[in-house]
Structure 1
Amino acid sequence: MSRRPESSGLLEGMEISPMSELGRTLTIPRKPVAMEPIIEIYPVSSNSDDDSSRQNKPPEYRGAGDFPQSMNGNPWLPGFWRQFPLKGISSLLGCVACIIASVVILVVSDGQPTSSWSLSPTVYLAFLISGTNMLARYTFNEGVKIAWWYRALRGSSVRDLRDHWSHADGFWSALFSGRRFNLVALGSIAVTVMVIDQPLIQRSSSVISIKTTSPTNVTINIAREIPWGFTGVQNGRSDAVQVMTQPMIAAFNDHNSQNAIVQSGTSCSDNCTGYVEAGGLAARCNTTSGPIEYSWLGNQVGAFSYSPFNVNFSVIAAAAPSYPNGTFGTPAQLVMKVGYTNNSVNTNCAGVRTETTCYLASSTIRYPINITGDVIQIGDTVNQGTVQSFQPAPPMANVGTDIENDQAPWTLGGLFIAANNLFASNATYNIGITISDTMDLPDTLSNQFLDFPPLDLSNANSSYMLVSPHACISNWTDPTMYILSQLNEIAFRVSLYASSFPYRDTGAPSDPQVVTMQQVRTINVFRSDYRFLIASTVITMVSVVLITPMFLGWWELGRRVTLNPIEIAKAFDAPSLNGPGSNAPLSQLGKSMGGRGLKYGEVEGFVAGSETKRQLKLTNSVEVSAPRAGEVYI
């Protein structure tokens, strides 16, 4: 066994004599720094028992770096699966999974009500996109380790290795790398630019309001017909002299005031459209039309007042009883007569006159309605409503109903009074009575349906230029459909008041109606904008793809590598890290050298001619003093 001569500390027995400001030489004793002896051990073969026992005896180690390779070495184990970067590839796949999850959330949430999601899709997207970016950054960091060591393994320069590290450490270094551009710079730019996917993916989901239609059952408490004798009472010998009952007056006043038709407890949460059966008036009408000359009629008598527009009503009592079936033969009816003139010409005061006679019978009508909350609106009853059945005449037990008799109750009597008050009309032409023919419009309806030219005040600069209707040249439109619609609206209101009144002769009210209606709801739903989704997905996927090449060559590495300064210093053969094998992983370096004291600072040495050399090093803390301001270090 040979032994290397032990050496003392470098400063032992030496003095440094710097010059003072006054030119005097100062002798400063320096404390020797002891160097740890280095022992080399070589096995020697021997046939003697003593030599054999010495050969098998564990050697004694004195220096920190005095470790045999057989005890400190780590095998170099390259291979595809052996060095497979599981963490890096897993985080890479995690990025792809987050991207797929973001796409799924946007596709699934598109058109879904906001109430069906406890958290909005944007919250999930925020988590996923943050996870994507964090995983991408982790993937990049793992790839940088492999790229740096693979570059060193294949042969490189200090500048090239520095560029690999600096491009990974900062975006600006990668962006302005110029001719030193490499895969690490590409990955650094990609993982930095990738953050713009956050505002894009956030904008890909928004909330809008839409209308949805679905069937729903709605409960409406309304009578299917107007009860016998419910609306009017004859007040005298003539059936034309009647008064309204209390519920009829309430319905009449509601109509005149245009009060909302309110029905609570319908179970319609938003807007429902459908049909409901209620009492109403079924009309059977006859119409005749022909030319007329009002001036000729006036000439026959010398002076004449004739109505070019008129509406009047009358009532017909129930017919005599039909004893075989115990009921009246014919139910009571209302009669409405309408006459109006159009296509008028001034010559001979001529025009076309149309006359319509309608018989209105109490019936069950299927009304088109719209319910918004608790408010009912009646649709176009004339064109969309249908007659379900006609109400029969009262039985013999109610022989006093709907007959011409003082104090007799009438089923349609109140509607007759309402019609006369609201719609009776009589416009007149006065021909030959005064110097010129005149016209009277004494009521609402004759003015309402006057077919007048559109209002134009552009050329009217005085009241004498305002247009007004004149006799013989005025025209009207047909009020029949309007009157029938208004009367049925009143009948609908009466049916609501009659919901708790006995149905016919059963002694009990009819059950509430449960009808199926189409419910139109305004709901908030999520809307996915796939333009932003596509843009975000493309940016993220491209960034992930650009990071991937940094993993190339992992199969040529023989251990798990990091960019930890300790591991890199070990690779550069730093004296402070003498000890474990050169292929030791970072975990082993930490265990074997974790207790060593290190310090960065000034270390002095000597060159030829006893010149002092000062350097800054990270080395044994015993040999280091603090750096001095202004000192030049080499």
Structure 2
Amino acid sequence: MADGSSRSLLAPAREYTKNQSAWRGQRSTYKLPTLIFTFLTLLVACIIASIFILLRSHEHPVGSWAIRPSILLSVLAGIYPIALSGLFTAGVAVVWWRSITHGTTLKTLHYINAGASPKDIPGAFLAGGHARRVALGALVVFAAKLTIGPFLQQATKPELRDITRDITMSIRIASEIPDGAFGTVSAFQPQGIGIQQDTFFGYNLTVKDGAQFHCPGNGTCEGNVTAAGINFVCSSESAPFDLFDPGENFSTVFSIDMELQPETSPPQLLFDSTYISAVDDNCIGTLTTTNCNIILATMLYPVRIRNGILRPNFTHVFHNPTTAIVKNYTSAGDAEMENPKAFMGPLRGALEAVGMIYRTKAHLIQRQIDGIDVVGYNFMTEDRSAPFWANMFLNTSLLGDPGRAEFIRRCPLVWYSPVEYVMTVVLALMFRTAYALSPELTGNQTFDAVYSGEELWNITDFGWLAASVAVMVCGIIATMLLLWGWWQLDHYTSLSPLETGKVFGAPILTNAGPEQEARAIIREIGHERVAHDGDELVWNGTVYATGVAATTRNARDPFSDDHRLSSLDTRMSAQSSLRGKGHRRGMSSVSDSSPSQARPSFEHSLGVTTRRPYDDEAELDSGQYGRPRSRSRGSDAIPMLPLSLSPVSGGSPQLPPIPPTGTIRMEAFGPTPRPRKGSRGEFDPLAGGKRPLSKIEERGSPSP
């Protein structure tokens, strides 16, 4: 605190236009409760939002959330500490102001403010009840901010589960195949050849652009899709067949054939198959003949989708044709017989793509080997036939039965039925053709499917949820306990240096009048320039001594020369404030040759400087440095009047009277110090190397 003489040094920075008697200062009583309510609302909202997210996401698929719950919880874990810090800061200010209002010590006030910092928490515990309350609240707040993020992350975790649920999917596929999809009557076109190749080699049906039937995750989706197909009716006949009957030699024992009948209405595709389905130990076989009549139809195909691959179940359609048929339809291209350039119909295309590949015939061969009668078969080499299919469908599983040695040795001629296989190939050809057509010829079909498989789900750990809520509530309680009694304060408070300096009666803040809030103080005197060299403060052309010099060397002998000089400096500063004009401030250094030791100093117009005249007693004895001097701009040099350093009537040394008018220019007792080159700012040669305070730029950090 400054004494009375220091207070008298401060002259007003400007003329006030306010009526001092009516100036009561602003009181923002609504700001603090608004601030508390805002932060408290944010904190409670974070708790409610965390609970809602954790409860809502429990046992729900991870993919059902556009933003994962863990990310949302991370955002809340970031907002909560920010709001809690704001509420805690307001609570510390309330404790500080309530403490000073009711009376306390400077130590307590210091540790109330410092107790919010981890390094000063031990000292705050020993400084009294108010500081201890702040330290305890700081520990709880630190713990809450440190643990809330990990606790919320532990409260939710993904888990793989086997699930089954209904989903809606979409596919683009044609319900009817138009004429020309395979080419013309006389030529198979590239598109038809490509579909034939895909069907024969069994390539996968993959997701097309725009199709939305990609099954999520690694699960399987099953549903029914309407697409182009065939309606067919098959009949079978069986008859005994003696393999060693001479009359049966060279008769047909296995055949596959397809033929188009365009003259019927509607046109039909005929499928015939002959094969020996069974043989007993006496080599008496069963010859089975199957005939199928095929027309065009729209069918319902069971499909399975997994990892973007579509697999229709043609076997199910073959065994349940009546339930799979949606409707029949006809094609004009299938009835065309004479015009070779006419578009090929779907049935004719199936004949060209499948019938010609599977057409085959094998006949019976009777012979003797080592005197034993045996039978076999040979391929017929008729036009456009594939003889190897008799080998492909031969039932070789019976050849490994040791109980039928005679059968194996004499008549091992049993075939699988080729009907199902060939008919499913025809169905696959129709389905692939409907799927391969351009989007202009297909419709976007929506169908229901059942999803089954493993899926990543969000699982909430309610123990960690309870711990997270408890931590957040404890943090709020700790800060609200600091805010208790805020309604007793008559204005909005903070720990701004302007507010705390004003309450301690800092002379530099007296021009703010009755204003107590930082913003109001800034509005009144925020434009004022100040500077500090580590020992003294210069403000408004006035040296405000902090008393550092008087408590060092001069404390030994109150009547020493140093003590007299210090008293002289203080008295001269007191006299200068009465004039209020002619003050200069600047920057100088201790030594021109040692820039690293440079420190700021400011000069008063009456010869008082914030720099000690001699920092070293040896310098005083050797006369290395002269006494600082001061100049006033635009005036003639007037030597400083002799000073009487002897106390008058036991008082402090007195300054000589100052002329009431005119401008004073003062010379120092010693040689004039040369201004140091390279110093920052502009130097006035009349200012003795000092930089005026008005030219000191505000910086983010101090600089020499």
Give 1:238's aligned residue. Answer: none
SS at match of 1:562: coil
Aligned twin of 1:136: 84
| Alignment pair present for 1:360 and 2:293 | yes
Letter in 2 for 1:368: Y
What does residue 426 of structure 2 align with?
487
The aligned residue for residue 256 of structure 2 is 312
Superposed CA deviations along residues 189-239 of structure 1, whole A, max 9, x for unmatched, are 343341554577689999999999435584638436899x99879xxxxxx
Question: Would the alpha carbon gap of residues 213 and 82 (structure 1) be closer, same or farther in structure 2, given more than 3 Å must change?
Answer: closer
Matched, 1:149 2:64: no
Compare the two structures and name the one with the higher strand fraction.
1
SS in 2 for 1:87: helix
**Contact preservation (8 Å) 1:363, 1:388:** no
Residues 476 and 159 (structure 1), Cα distance of their counterparts in 2 relative to 1, 3 Å cut: farther
- Could you tell me how far apart the structure 1 residues matched to 2:205 and 2:299 are? 17
CA contact (8 A) 1:332 1:393 kept: no
1:542 to 474, 490, 499: 474
1:82-231 superposed matches below 5 A:
85-98=33-46, 100=48, 129-153=77-101, 160-168=108-116, 170-174=117-121, 182-193=132-143, 194-195=145-146, 197=148, 213-214=167-168, 216=170, 218=172, 220=174, 222-223=176-177
| Distance in 2 separating the partners of 1:103 and 1:526 | 21
- Contact 1:231/1:414 (CA < 8 Å) preserved in 2? no
Deviation at residue 550 of structure 1 after TM alignment? 0.6
C-alpha spacing 1:534/1:554, structure 2 compared with 1 (3 Å): same
Letter in 1 for 2:257: F
Gaps of 5+ in 1: 1-32, 39-60, 63-69, 234-242, 320-327, 403-408, 457-468, 501-510
Q: How has the CA–CA distance of structure 1 residues 471 and 555 changed in structure 2, closer, same or farther, with 3 Å as cutoff?
A: farther
Q: TM-score scaled by structure 1? A: 0.55
- Corresponding residue to 1:603 among 546, 549, 557: 549
Larger displacement relative to structure 2 (599-608 or 203-212): 203-212
Q: Secondary structure at the match of 2:254?
A: strand
**For residue 90 of structure 2, what is the amino acid of its counterpart?**
E
Partner of 2:590: none
Distance 2:336 2:494 in 1: 108
Change (3 A) 1:394 1:337: same
Number of aligned residue pairs: give it.
500
Contact 2:204/2:310, CA 8 A, preserved across alignment: yes
| CA-CA distance at 1:357 after TM superposition | 1.5
1:552 corresponds, among 477, 484, 492, to 484
**In structure 1, how many angstroms separate the alpha carbons of the residues matched to 2:525 and 2:92?**
26
Cα deviation, 1:264-317, whole Å, max 9, x if unaligned, reads: 9x953555975345353513223659xx8x8xx45665997898x734336485
**Mapping 1:329-340, distance limit 5 Å:** 332-340=268-276
Decide whether the 8 Å contact of 2:260 with 2:347 is kept in 1.
no
Q: Which structure carries more relative contact order (alpha carbon 8 Å, separation 6+)?
A: 1
What root-mean-square deviation, in Å, do the aligned CA atoms of Structure 1 and Structure 2 show?
A: 6.6
CA contact (8 A) 2:205 2:311 kept: yes
Residue-by-residue CA offset, 1:560-610 (whole Å, 9 max, x unaligned): 443345654665677888899999666777758976754546232777974
C-alpha spacing 1:249/1:588, structure 2 compared with 1 (3 Å): closer
CA distance in 2, matches of 1:441, 1:206: 68
Shift of 1:484: 0.7
Contact 1:187 1:546 survives alignment (8 Å) = yes
Could you say which residue in structure 2 is the equivalent of 1:285?
Answer: 235
Matched, 1:424 2:371: no
CA distance change for structure 1 residues 589 and 379 in 2, over 3 Å: closer, same or farther? closer
Against the structure 1 CA distance between its residues 112 and 175, is the aligned structure 2 distance closer, same or farther, given a 3 Å change threshold?
Answer: farther
Which segments of 5 or more consecutive residues in structure 2 lack a partner in the other structure? 13-19, 216-222, 380-386, 401-407, 529-538, 574-601, 603-607, 618-704
Amino acid at match of 1:545: I
Indicate the residue corresponding to 2:225 in structure 1: 275
Q: Distance in 1 between matches of 2:432 and 2:521?
A: 94
Residues 174, 228 of structure 2: 8 Å contact kept: no
Deviation at 1:137, TM superposition (A): 1.6
Q: Paired residue for 1:517, among 432, 441, 446?
A: 446
CA distance, structure 2, for counterparts of residue 560 and residue 391 of structure 1: 86
Aligned partners of 2:179 and 2:332 also within 8 Å: no
Percent identity, aligned pairs only, is 16
